[in-house]
Amino acid sequence: MKQYIGDGMLLITALVWGSGFVVTAIALEYISAYQVMAGRFVLATLILIVLFGYKFKKMTRAVLWKGAVIGTFLFIGFALQTVGLEYTTPSKNAFLTALNVVIVPVIAFLIYKRKIARFEMIGSVLAIVGIGFLSLQGSLTMNFGDTLSLACAVAFAFDIFYTNRFVQKEDAISLTIVQFIIASLLSVVTVLFQGDIPTTFEKEAVYSVVYLAIFSTTIAYLFQNIAFRYTTATKGAIILSMESFFGMVLSVIFLHEVVTGRMVTGAVLIMAAILIAEVKPDLYKKHAIKNVVK
């Protein structure tokens, strides 16, 4: 039962992140990408401290260093994605970032010798192909921005992998607080280093950053980090790939993008990926149990 609750929380996270595409697009019309990043993390950190400040009383060294690790990976992922966008198209950036879905099981295998589950790998590949249909257009050649976007995928894959690993022993909320504090500090330092401190605040930018902080950061990462206690990193990454699908749907609704055959194909492949990763292993186990009973 907890497994399905966890999967549901990840699905909600993917939906919220999908909406973030639309909101971020609005925010970037008024402020820079690094300002958006700093704003959302600082505000999200303050929200968590207000809601769960009592967690500081029971913070352990393990929580501090583990939270610092995933916070650093989170910042690196966002930073590489942001810089990569300056040199490549948003569609290629989104696709290459989403490659974390196939990098996660590779990390598990190379570092911890975890066997790559067949159904999870099939689901990962299908999800990537589906995201490709949703995102990619034009040339598939790699440039500097594409390389940074690919590096971003690796950073996010490490964030997903180690979050999944750390929440098995540590309190998910405490880890999230430390993760956000580290990401906030690194983001603010980056803005100060660039001399990119905003002097005026348009209400559209403020509303967008507040939405991203509350929903796409605070709620989404709390849900993700708690949910990872009940599922594998690979399956979690596959479910989170629904972010691209929800982003497409919400872009059609609110930004009036035209639905194409490529979008429909991509959506179907992503749904198939989740069904394979979610349903097939259970069917396989039931079939094996029946054979043993016989």
For the stretch 67-119, pLDDT in tens is: 999 999 999 998 888 788 777 766 666 777 777 888 888 888 888 777 777 77
284/274 Cα distance (integer angstroms): 16
Choose the most confident range, by mean pLDDT, from 5-14, 77-86, 112-121, 178-187. 178-187
pLDDT band at 4 (very low <50, low <70, confident <90, very high): confident
pLDDT score at 138: 60
Domain count for the chain, please give it: 1
Q: C-alpha dihedral over 56, 12, 238, 116, to 10 degrees?
A: 40
Owning domain of residue 278: 2-293
pLDDT score at 125: 85
CB atoms within 10 A of CB 289: 10
CB 75 within 8 A of CB 164: no
Q: Quick one: DSSP state of residue 199?
A: S
pLDDT score at 269: 84
CB 188 within 8 A of CB 72: no
Residue-averaged pLDDT of the chain:
83
